[in-house]
Amino acid sequence: MDTPFRKIGSDKLLSGKIEESIELAIRRRDYKAGEKLPTEGQLCDLFGVSRTVVREALRKLSARGLVVIKQGSGAYVNELSSESAIDSINLFLELTDDGSLIFDIIRARQLFEPEIAGLAALNRTVAELEELAENLEALKASPPEDIDGQTIIDIRFHSLIASATHNNVVALLMRPIFDNMPKVKRSIYAKNNLGYLTHDISKVLKFHEEIFEAIKKADPREASHAMLAHLKATEKNFKDSLE
């Protein structure tokens, strides 16, 4: 049987070595998306190990989303999608309860989003400008105490700008960051009273309006500067919330 798999030694946890070998075969496209892997018995013979070891390796690959195990049928190479990649990153960000991660998210946004806003200023369409304008009106009309509603509107604003770049990779990479913006908002607002929130919402609206006007004027430099100022203010708010 022609196969990329060979018997392995015992200098490392066997299931881990088998996991690595199967993953490498998938990455090399020896087995393509949707294709069935050798049976458990065949893998046992190829690697020279027990079924328990093979099953553990397949279980790990399944947990990582590389392999799908179908009861009574066998193991198949998973047909990965952008959604599955985003879900994995989201799970990590959601389960990491660390204040430094909030800073990392904010600072990552400071690196990426000013450039994104600049590119959006060059590539946006009339229809996208109309969507951004509607988003601003929705934020203006939102009740001051409705933090969750404002967060949804806020995420939508930044997502629209990413989409306006017309770069699919940009939109894909920013999705996990935008999906975790509620976590950042909760951290910032946890200790603040309603008066502070009302004041902060007005500042957010002002920043959004400045970003929108720069994008509308097709001015990438101004759009980039306005976005960076907005995100610097977000960082300051988070630092203030820790005091």
CATH number at residue 136: 1.20.120.530
* Domain end (from 49, 77, 105): 77
pLDDT at position 11 is 38
Q: Which of 112-121, 162-171, 220-229 shows the lowest mean pLDDT across its residues?
A: 162-171
Write down the pLDDT at residue 172.
85
- CA atoms of 23 and 31, how far apart (whole Å): 10
| Structural domain count, the chain | 2
- CA-to-CA separations, 53 to 18, 23, 32, 61, 73, in angstroms, rounded: 8, 15, 23, 13, 19
pLDDT on residue 194: 41
Note down the domain range covering 164. 84-241
Q: Decide which of 116 and 71 is more confident.
A: 116
In a domain, 8, yes or no: no
What integer pLDDT is reported at residue 48 of this predicted model?
92
